Structure 1
Amino acid sequence: MSDTPVSELSFEAAMAELEKVVSQLERGDVALEDSIKLYERGAELKKRCEAKLKEAEEKVAAITLDGDGNPAGLKPVDGL
């Protein structure tokens, strides 16, 4: 498990760590206290991945196309 704060992880890093957490929990060879910590970290990682995906979707949705289907510019998205 990484010591990097979840809020600083890229989508890819958070997803990779989440996969490791799930794998460790599925194996079932982790002590109860460690399992709880892993589960909590996994929940944080899941939230981070969902937030980064939503952010990306909003950015994609903000792209406007001209009459020929070419990107005409970006519309500002609140909060980004």
Structure 2
Amino acid sequence: MTSETTQPDLASLSFEEALKQLETIVRELEQGNVPLERSIEMYERGATLRSHCNSLLKAAEAKVEKIQLGQDGQAAGTSDLDPEN
């Protein structure tokens, strides 16, 4: 049925894209008219998307924690926020 080659690579998905896919899966599963095998595939994909979203949120949280306010009230310490790190 659904192979990994037809699904977008998770690493290339933004948080918003992954969340949108996850919401679609949840909505379809809640409707209850999906065959069992397809439901299992969708659930597995949903679990993977949830994990991806969680990782992206943790990375964003770590970046926010690195931001410190200087004495002038401006954000300081943002040089450590390079997305490549």
TM range (shorter): 0.7 to 0.9
Per the normalisation by structure 1, the TM-score is 0.87
**Given residue 56 of structure 1, which amino acid in structure 2 is its aligned partner?**
A
How many residue pairs match? The answer is 79
Give deviations 1:17-75, integer Å, cap 9, x for gaps.
00000001100100000000000000000001110011111111111211132112326
Is 1:43–2:47 an aligned residue pair? yes
Structure holding more strand per residue: 1
Q: Percent identity?
A: 44
| Unaligned runs of at least 5 residues, structure 1 | none
**How many angstroms apart in 2 are the aligned matches of 1:30 and 1:7?**
27
Structural RMSD (CA): 2.0
| Unaligned runs of at least 5 residues, structure 2 | none
Per the normalisation by structure 2, the TM-score is 0.82
Instruction: Find the counterpart in structure 2 of residue 70 from structure 1.
Output: 74
